[in-house]
Amino acid sequence: MKYLKKFFILILTMLLTIILFILGISLNLKYTITDTLGKAVKEEITDNIVDTISQNSEMSEEEIRTEINKVLEDNPTINKTMEDCFDKAMDILNGKDVKDLDLKNEIETIINENEAALKEYGINITEEDKQQILGYVSSEEFNGEFNNFVTDFKQDIPAQTLTILNIFNIIISKTFKIILICLLVVLIILIAVLKKSLYKWLSNFSVATIINGILYSTVFILLEELLKNNNDINITLSSFKLYGFIMLSIGILSIILNLILKKINKTQIEEKQNNN
């Protein structure tokens, strides 16, 4: 019976490890593809803005580009726009008929919100410049560039990877994430019940997180290097690597917390025995 319980705990720990691995993919895949698409879209938009503004500015194109990049970097509106790009890209990858990507409202919001800041850098966007930029981001040319990028991306990745991406379209859903988190809680409770302890489950949790940390922080670093060497498209896997480092940190903290609680529990038991 004792060995059967240990075996069952081992199985639960393995399931915990697998679910944490799948959760990492579910949490990071959309960000990775959004970030990859975002770089391409931002580059196209930036090129057009720089070309338009440089026609009526004394600043060099490089200076204008530097300041525009500051505006587009980590901008909440542009980040939301990239999610829209992702949704359309996934439709293209899945072979669905899609409408044109129209970023006119989003880009107009970004320009209006940052117009004052750009003026401080010596960049003045006239109404004519604005209309030219907005016309571009809703044009057939821009949509053609975007569609070509996604199509090239689709052609460059192996068929097996494309199939996986289609499956991941389900995996990245909020519902799937909630299911995984609920399963994690249930597994931890089961391990705690079998170990008859409020803290001993931390040792199993630390094993699962450290294994995931090692896998994510090494495998995805190697995978990113391979993708850089074999593809023209620069796919950033930084979010996966960060997840790996977070898992390693959680694993180490779990070990430390387990040792502290174990020591406290041991001290309490000894004090209770001495009092008796």
- Confidence band, pLDDT 50/70/90 cuts, at residue 73: low
Nearest to 147 by CA among 100, 84, 78, 94: 100
In whole angstroms, what is the distance from residue 118 CA to residue 68 CA?
A: 8
Question: What percent of the chain is modeled with pLDDT above 90?
Answer: 24
Beta carbons within 10 angstroms of residue 185's beta carbon? 10
**Helix or strand or coil: residue 161?**
helix
What angle (nearest 5°) sits at the alpha carbon of residue 14, between those of residues 9 and 18? 145
User: What is the pLDDT, as a whole number, of residue 37?
Assistant: 63
Q: Residue 181, Cα to own-chain centre: how many angstroms?
A: 17
- Find the range with the poorest average confidence among 93-102, 141-150, 198-207: 93-102
Greater confidence (18 vs 101) lies with 18
At residue 250's C-alpha, the angle toward residues 248 and 251, to 5°, is 60
The Cα–Cα gap between 96 and 101 comes to 14
Instruction: Determine the length of the chain.
Output: 276
Helix (H, G, I), strand (E, B) or coil at 172: coil
The domain locations on the chain are 2-28+174-275, 31-159
The yes-or-no verdict on residue 77 having pLDDT over 60 is yes
CA–chain centroid gap for 245, Å, is 14
Q: How confident is the model at residue 3 (pLDDT cuts 50, 70, 90)?
A: confident
Give the pLDDT confidence score for residue 178 in this predicted structure: 93
- Condensed to tens digits (0 to 9), the pLDDT of residues 227-247 reads 666 655 556 777 888 899 999
pLDDT (average), residues 183-188? 94
Please tell me the predicted confidence (pLDDT) of residue 72: 67
- Contact between 44 and 142 (Cβ < 8 Å): yes
Distances (CA, A) of 39 to 69, 81, 85, 123, 189: 11, 12, 11, 23, 42
Q: Indicate the pLDDT class of residue 157, thresholds 50, 70 and 90.
A: low
Return the residue matching tokens 């995805």.
Answer: 220
CB atoms within 10 A of CB 228: 14
Average pLDDT over all residues of the chain: 78
- Tell me: pLDDT of 264 over 70: yes
Q: How confident is the model over 94-144, as pLDDT tens digits?
A: 666 666 666 677 777 777 777 776 776 667 777 777 787 777 777 777 777
Q: How confident is the model at residue 67 (pLDDT cuts 50, 70, 90)?
A: confident
